[in-house]
Structure 1
Amino acid sequence: MSLKTNEYTKNSDNPTTETVDGLKKYIVTKRIGTDYSYKHKIVWKNAIGFLFLHLMALWGLWIFITGGIKLKTCLWTLLVVFFSSEGVTMGAHRLFAHKSFKAKPLLKFFLIICQTIAGQNSVFIWCRDHRLHHRYSDTDGDPHNSKRGFFFCHMGWLMYKKHPYVIDLGRRIDMSDLQEDWMVMFQKKYYYYMYFLFAVFIPVAVPYYYFGESFKNAFLVCYMFRYVIQLNGTWLVNSAAHLYGTRPYDKNMQPVESWFVSFLSLGEGWHNYHHTFPWDYKAAELSMHFNQTASFIRMFETLGLAYDLKSASPEMVMRRIRKSGDGTHYLLGNEKDKKSVTAFGILHPLNPSYNVVYEAPDSMLEDKGLPLFHEHDVIDANLLKRDIASG
């Protein structure tokens, strides 16, 4: 690549940017944060496309809330939303991106189909971006860096040209496990054909052919509205769950605990815990509060379709809370810190603006980034067990 395409070197001793022949090139430095002087370039075809999608979704929403569709179509739409959401949360996220449990071929196949319905790109690309997000969370190496503001990390990142760090560091992410998975690679190769079949044709055809809905209503509600509402539910994990909440497990990390996001995303809003222990299949300390995905993983374990469920031990969690938590933990926190929260309107965790009053941490990471599976926490847990055994 030439400098005209913003190629940048990997010499970590150089500054963040330098100018050569009047052109700026970007350098991956030893410490990666957020360069607020960097201006993302808008990809207009993406921006116009998302505007069109949301306008069509609003039309579908109007039909939905004014009773323009049959009850059977309404239930069908909710069913498609549910299965597509689990394809992302259970499949792309907890199974493929974090390897927090293992699945038999039948369950893997089912989850890949469900993830295809969600329309968030192939499992391979989804996992690459998500692993990059965890390794360089809330820095310029994060595809949806929350330091850029709510709109950027919610959906704006899909409308801008990727930061050069994201492009370069994305090439370094280890994807060998998914490259060796023939199901994942098959979906990657034929993704657009599968997307049309499972995300567009079937959701629209069922109410049109079997429920007697008009094609217009079936398309606007069962595809447009359903697709966009599910997208925004996922995006809230990148935005609200990084900005509005508490950090009882690690106050040095940007992600927060959000009951509201967990309720909407089937359990993905317990985000401070998840970034602290990313390999835990529950993606939360507890699994009974707005975490249907964890319950379904255990159900599939009972059925023999899921196995080797990984989870942080109570000792490991307790050690981390006492070491780096912000004092708001429901059990091990203190009243002073628990009361140090604010919100617009009613002060309650279900309020989306529920937030701690201290400033969010200034994310600065080494160029190697954070461990994807937090091996150092496993070491800490073993040390704690040794300490307990020795009295």
Structure 2
Amino acid sequence: MDLSIKMFSDIPSVVRHHWNAGNINWPMGIYITLVHVVGLVGVAKLVECSKETLMWAFLLWPISGFGITVGVHRLWSHRSYSASFPVRFFLMLCNSIANQGSIYHWARDHRVHHKYSETDADPHNAMRGFFFAHMGWLYLKKHPEVIRAGKELDFSDLHEDPVVMFQKKLDPWFALYMCFVFPAQIAVRFWGESFWPAFFVAGGLRYMIVLHFTWFVNSAAHLYGDHPYDVVSYPSENTYVSFFAVGEGWHNWHHKYPFDYAASEFGISSQFNPSKLFIDILATVGLVWGRKRGTAAWDMGRARRERDREAGVPLPKPTPRPWEAISAIKQE
């Protein structure tokens, strides 16, 4: 269901159900729980950190965020633009700081998500509710349909990229180092910070927060917001998610035109999208090229919608989500 008091009150019964069914992914579940323990220790360590370390932790938000948005999402998952080797290597490092799984595995699951969005084959199917789409899916074994779908898609382009394979070969140790230890080493080396406060704040706390920012794209942006481009698609335009996820909340557009490198209709002047701005800057200096856009397709789609409107054809409506259908039945 959506984000509500009932969602939280139902968590114990849902946990019991999956416990009895043997669906719990123990290694990942333990890891995600430990991540939050480390993050909470980071909260306690905030008072021990210098202002330089706090600023460094803040800067690691967009740095690691670009590793997801500019890198594994728009470049490697959707191939919405092409990038030179130095850019790909830099984005791989940023992605490793983000530590959300290797580029290969992230892109594999994301391509499955787009092809089978809001079905059993979707790794974080929002039809199963806010909590599942946000982080619950990581605590459970993958649905058999997700596994089947992942075996059917072509990932040869990822195998052919040496940067992707380099990171995959070192997974997960390189990402764990870049996520937790590297930020602390920078703080120790350049402004004399103590290692452990930097480890828990610039590493653990920042990591936990950015994880939730990314997860909001799967949960909040699939449940709350406007649907101006595809009225029967559940992904929505969510300004708040766009801010926290450095430009990834314009989700109705993105699911309509996943090949668009901007993942939004407009640029930074109209929609918060620093990820698009960063790609544009790289293109200006010739480090990326072949940026694809969905604006021409939308111009034609908008013209068709206007013709239908003038002819009195109503816009279609999305199928109610399970909890919406139950609520409608109760109100009858």
Same fold (TM over 0.5): yes
Structure number with higher helix proportion: 2
Pick from 50, 58, 71: which aligns with 2:51? 71
Q: 1:94 to 1:238 in 2, by over 3 A?
A: same
CA contact (8 A) 1:69 1:213 kept: yes
Deviation at 1:194, TM superposition (A): 2.0
2:92 matched residue in structure 1: 112
Pick from 216, 219, 234: which aligns with 1:254? 234
Separation in structure 2 between the aligned mates of residue 242 and residue 323 of structure 1, nearest angstrom: 25
Deviation at 1:241, TM superposition (A): 0.4
Separation in structure 2 between the aligned mates of residue 188 and residue 113 of structure 1, nearest angstrom: 12
Unaligned runs of 5+ in 2: 1-20, 309-314, 322-332
The alignment's TM-score, normalised by the length of structure 1, stands at 0.71
Q: 1:104 to 1:45 in 2, by over 3 A?
A: closer
Deviation at 1:108, TM superposition (A): 0.8
Deviation at 1:74, TM superposition (A): 1.0
Q: 1:192 to 1:298 in 2, by over 3 A?
A: same
Separation in structure 1 between the aligned mates of residue 61 and residue 229 of structure 2, nearest angstrom: 31
Q: Do residues 292 (structure 1) and 274 (structure 2) align? A: yes
1:340 matched residue in structure 2: none
CA contact (8 A) 2:231 2:317 kept: no
Give % identity.
Answer: 42
Unaligned runs of 5+ in 1: 1-38, 328-336, 338-357, 364-391
2:30 matched residue in structure 1: 48
Letter in 1 for 2:242: S
Letter in 1 for 2:148: D
SS at match of 1:112: helix
Letter in 2 for 1:302: T
Q: Do residues 123 (structure 1) and 103 (structure 2) align? A: yes
Letter in 1 for 2:248: E
Q: How does 1:1-391 map to 2 (within 5 A)?
A: 41-64=23-46, 67-288=47-268, 289-314=271-296, 316-321=297-302, 323=304, 361=319
RMSD in angstroms over aligned alpha carbons?
A: 2.2
Deviation at 1:215, TM superposition (A): 2.7
Deviations for 1:84-125, whole angstroms, at most 9, x for unmatched residues?
110110000001110110001111111111111110111111
Separation in structure 2 between the aligned mates of residue 231 and residue 323 of structure 1, nearest angstrom: 39
Letter in 2 for 1:249: Y
Q: 1:243 to 1:360 in 2, by over 3 A?
A: farther
Matched residues, number: 292
Deviation at 1:61, TM superposition (A): 2.4
Deviations for 1:334-377, whole angstroms, at most 9, x for unmatched residues?
xxx9xxxxxxxxxxxxxxxxxxxx985358xxxxxxxxxxxxxx
CA contact (8 A) 2:99 2:176 kept: no
- Report which of the two structures shows the higher radius of gyration computed on alpha carbons: 1
CA contact (8 A) 1:249 1:324 kept: no
